[in-house]
Chains A and B, each alone.
Chain A
Amino acid sequence: MALHIAVSLGRPLLLEGAAGVGKTEVARALATVHDTDLIRLQCYEGLDANHAIYEWNYQRQLLAIRAASDAGETGADVEARIFSQDYLLERPLLKAIRQEKPPVLLIDEIDRADEEFEAYLLEVLSDFQITIPELGTITASARPMVILTANGTRDLSDALRRRCIYAHVEYPDRQTELAILASRCPQVEGHLAAQIVGFVQKLREEELEKLPGIAEMLDFAAALGGLGIKDLSDDPAVLHAALATLLKTQTDRAAVPIEVAARIAGKAA
């Protein structure tokens, strides 16, 4: 619903939720449905405008200046030339607004970037235009569908939240997760699939440091397939070994010993 509104209104969509609930996947699916490109900007601490929007290709510029001085070109010509489109490196944000067809722009884990970048992003997202001092303003040729994801590394500013359509993504319910498993790993049989999903959902109710997400569930299913398991309650030792795909910290591994895993598997069956 939020996605529908965001696309209809041309507003950015902010998806928030725990890690591994499929936030990034939403953007991929949207790009597939609309049959356009997915441009992804992965945020990290210290991400700055140079990496997100554009950068001059300094090495080429230096070479050009050298070559020009040998050829005896004048300063003004050189300057005009080295600050032209040829020497511009497009970064995701600039790339996104210069596409022919509206792409899906995924700004992943926006909460990892610093607040200064968030502020800059606001400007880009509201006007969809970017100003490069040497070239002038570049206006969007197509308005990208913007999806931002966050998983609560820090609180996002109200200004950003205000401009976005918001959706909080929860772990999927049993039916949805079964459908995901069926579409991603069709080779897993119905009975085992139900067991896997039941097992993972039960596991999420345990007190774990890091709850297994959907990707982990799919890994788990693939691992079981590779181990040739037909029924979860068959062999507790193998099941416990396969837990390596679901539990990613030592404390979590210790919290779910063989017996507990077998008990959960029994309940899920």
Chain B
Amino acid sequence: MSKVTRFTAADPGPAARVAGFLAHLRAHGFHLGVAETETAMRALSCVHPITPKDARLALKSVCAGSGEQCTQFDLLFDAFWMADGRVRQKIMPAQHASPPQNTNTTRTDETQHSGAKGSLHAPEDGAEGQDSYAEGTGKLIASKAGNLMKKDLRELVSADEIRAAEQVAIRLGKALRDRRSRRQMAARKGRTIDLRRTMRRSMSTGGEPLRLVWRHRPDRPVKIVALCDVSGSMMHYARPFLAFLAGLMRADTASDAYLFHTRLVRITDALRDPDPLRALNRITLLADGFGGGSRIAGNLQRFADSYARKFVDGRSVVLILSDGYDTDAPGNMAGALQKLRRRGCRIIWLNPLKGWKDYAPIAQGMAAALPHLDDFAAAATLNDLAALEHRLARL
């Protein structure tokens, strides 16, 4: 284990260090408020005697909020407290908004500023942001790898398009939802009596429940899960599809989005970012390998094995946006889709090539997938997606 970080003599004390650590976590995407800082302090104070191991566990249980964050926490903890004896100058990273006291990062060298502050979320970006990032000591490892591809996505999608896509996404979502609610209406035979309200009403008629009050289950929205292929062959269509994903995420809080090329990446959280452009930047960081090869079957398989277990159920509609040119064996495709089907979801494959004249799904992967799809439709532009509305409603 690396040695413990040393602090400068001017250090204001342990409480400030813990607060600094919390700010360090916050800077890395943990949602922690002042209340958590207080809880963290109190948690530490109820551990006796305190060792680095206990402190780690204590802080982890307060700060981490999911399995993913637990892993991330360990790295961040090491970066902050176990920085190999390095001297930490600034305990408290100040907030971005206030320039006078802007020490901004917990890292030792001040050259980080440009990288951490402005450039990250700006639509047009100079080269300086990338350089300073590479020197970062504790900032996310993924950012170094992803930065190379930063430009691509931002050139692809503009804020206007996202807004337009949002409209489309909302309408599509509605189309799917309506269908769901119709179904519920038909099955609503077994409505139950609301005894509580019936009793209340009966008070006015002397305890005789003359007017019955009924209860029924509210309609529930479907969850849209979108898997977007961003391999080389799909580059032309990535633009509308990404905008669509971004719009979908912003319009519908229950939906979920993934990108895949040779790997599968969950981009839901990144796309939910309140600032649409920053959201795209975050995806860019995630989507290392954008425009590379495509392993559709492998990724679907991985999806079915991992995320689908958590997020896909009988109420989900899985949208696959891909051209079906796959480097994996076609046999795997059928297996993966079958597995996905078994979760009870509906699968819709949107293929940009299908809109072409004389298109036939002869790509082996596509042919293998066809029997397992609920619908197979063409979609190459945002307008196409909008046109899908009726079709989905009819499904």
Query: Which of A9, A50, A75, A155 lies in contact with B46, CB distance below 8 A?
Result: A9
Which of A1, A17, A79, A161: most chain B Cβ within 10 A?
A: A1
* Cβ of B36 under 8 Å from chain A: yes
A65:B62 contact, CB within 8 angstroms: no
Inter-chain CA distance A55–B42, complex, in Å, is 38
Known: A154-B311, A162-B31. A66 touches B207 (CB 8 A): yes
A65:B202 contact, CB within 8 angstroms: yes
Known: A50-B196, A153-B310. A2 touches B36 (CB 8 A): no
Q: Chain B interface secondary structure, helix, strand, loop or mixed? A: helix
* Cβ of A171 under 8 Å from chain B: no
Q: Which residues in A have their C-beta under 8 angstroms from that of B99? A: none
* Cβ of B54 under 8 Å from chain A: yes
Contact with B along A78-90 (1 / 0, CB 8 A): 1100000000000
* Cβ of A230 under 8 Å from chain B: no
User: Which of the segments B65-73, B87-95, B115-123, B124-132 contacts the partner chain?
Assistant: B65-73
Inter-chain CA distance A37–B7, complex, in Å, is 47
B220 to chain A, nearest CB (A): 9
* Cβ of B134 under 8 Å from chain A: no
Inter-chain CA distance A154–B198, complex, in Å, is 34
B39:A1 contact, CB within 8 angstroms: no
User: Which of the segments A56-64, A176-184, A192-200, A219-227 contacts the partner chain?
Assistant: A56-64
B66:A161 contact, CB within 8 angstroms: yes
A264 to chain B, nearest CB (A): 20
Q: Which residues in A have their C-beta under 8 angstroms from that of B198? A: 58
* Cβ of A32 under 8 Å from chain B: no
Contact with B along A44-80 (1 / 0, CB 8 A): 0010001000011010011001101100000100110
B47:A5 contact, CB within 8 angstroms: yes
A62:B199 contact, CB within 8 angstroms: yes
Which of A6, A8, A168: most chain B Cβ within 10 A?
A: A168
Q: Which residues in A have their C-beta under 8 angstroms from that of B313? A: 153
Query: Which of B61, B202, B206, B309 lies in contact with A6, CB distance below 8 A?
Result: B61
Inter-chain CA distance A162–B62, complex, in Å, is 8
Which of B31, B62, B305: most chain A Cβ within 10 A?
A: B62
* Cβ of B210 under 8 Å from chain A: no
Inter-chain CA distance A11–B61, complex, in Å, is 11
B36:A167 contact, CB within 8 angstroms: no
Query: Which of B47, B65, B305 lies in contact with A162, CB distance below 8 A?
Result: B65
B67:A11 contact, CB within 8 angstroms: no
Count residues of A near B (Cβ-Cβ below 8 Å): 36
A5:B31 contact, CB within 8 angstroms: no
* Cβ of B385 under 8 Å from chain A: no
Chain A contacts with B in 20-57, Cβ cutoff 8 A: 46, 50, 55-56
Q: Which residues in B have their C-beta under 8 angstroms from that of A16? A: 66-67
Chain A contacts with B in 223-255, Cβ cutoff 8 A: none
* Cβ of B188 under 8 Å from chain A: no
Q: Identify the closest chain B residue to A161 (Cβ).
A: B65
Chain B contacts with A in 1-52, Cβ cutoff 8 A: 31, 33, 35-36, 39, 42-43, 46-47
Inter-chain CA distance A165–B64, complex, in Å, is 9
Q: Which residues in B have their C-beta under 8 angstroms from that of A65? A: 202, 206-207
Q: Which residues in B have their C-beta under 8 angstroms from that of A207? A: 305
* Cβ of B203 under 8 Å from chain A: yes
B167 to chain A, nearest CB (A): 26
Q: Chain A interface secondary structure, helix, strand, loop or mixed? A: helix
B298 to chain A, nearest CB (A): 13
A106 to chain B, nearest CB (A): 18
Q: Which residues in A have their C-beta under 8 angstroms from that of B196? A: 50, 55-56, 58
* Cβ of B357 under 8 Å from chain A: no
A9:B39 contact, CB within 8 angstroms: yes
Inter-chain CA distance A255–B199, complex, in Å, is 56
B62:A165 contact, CB within 8 angstroms: yes
B43:A9 contact, CB within 8 angstroms: yes
* Cβ of A172 under 8 Å from chain B: no
B43:A154 contact, CB within 8 angstroms: no
Inter-chain CA distance A165–B39, complex, in Å, is 9
Q: Which residues in B have their C-beta under 8 angstroms from that of A2? A: 57, 60-61
Query: Which of B66, B67, B207, B217 lies in contact with A68, CB distance below 8 A?
Result: B207
Q: Which residues in B have their C-beta under 8 angstroms from that of A166? A: 60-62, 64-66, 70
Known: A11-B39, A58-B196. A5 touches B209 (CB 8 A): no
Inter-chain CA distance A2–B67, complex, in Å, is 14
Q: Identify the closest chain A residue to B63 (Cβ).
A: A166
B217:A46 contact, CB within 8 angstroms: yes
Chain B contacts with A in 301-329, Cβ cutoff 8 A: 305, 309-311, 313
Which of A75, A166, A167: most chain B Cβ within 10 A?
A: A166
Known: A6-B61, A166-B61. A58 touches B42 (CB 8 A): no
B62:A1 contact, CB within 8 angstroms: no
Q: Which residues in A have their C-beta under 8 angstroms from that of B207? A: 62, 65-66, 68-69, 78
Q: Identify the closest chain B residue to A61 (Cβ).
A: B199
B42:A9 contact, CB within 8 angstroms: yes
Known: A8-B46, A46-B217, A162-B36. A1 touches B54 (CB 8 A): yes
Contact with A along B349-379 (1 / 0, CB 8 A): 0000000000000000000000000000000
Q: Closest 4 interchain pairs by CB?
A: A65-B207, A2-B61, A1-B57, A161-B65
**Cβ contacts A to B, 14 pairs, < 8 Å:** A4-B47, A5-B43, A6-B61, A9-B39, A9-B43, A56-B199, A58-B198, A62-B209, A153-B310, A153-B313, A165-B62, A166-B60, A166-B62, A168-B70
Other than the given A5-B61, A9-B46, 8 more pairs (CB < 8 A) read: A1-B58, A5-B58, A16-B67, A62-B199, A153-B310, A158-B31, A165-B62, A168-B64
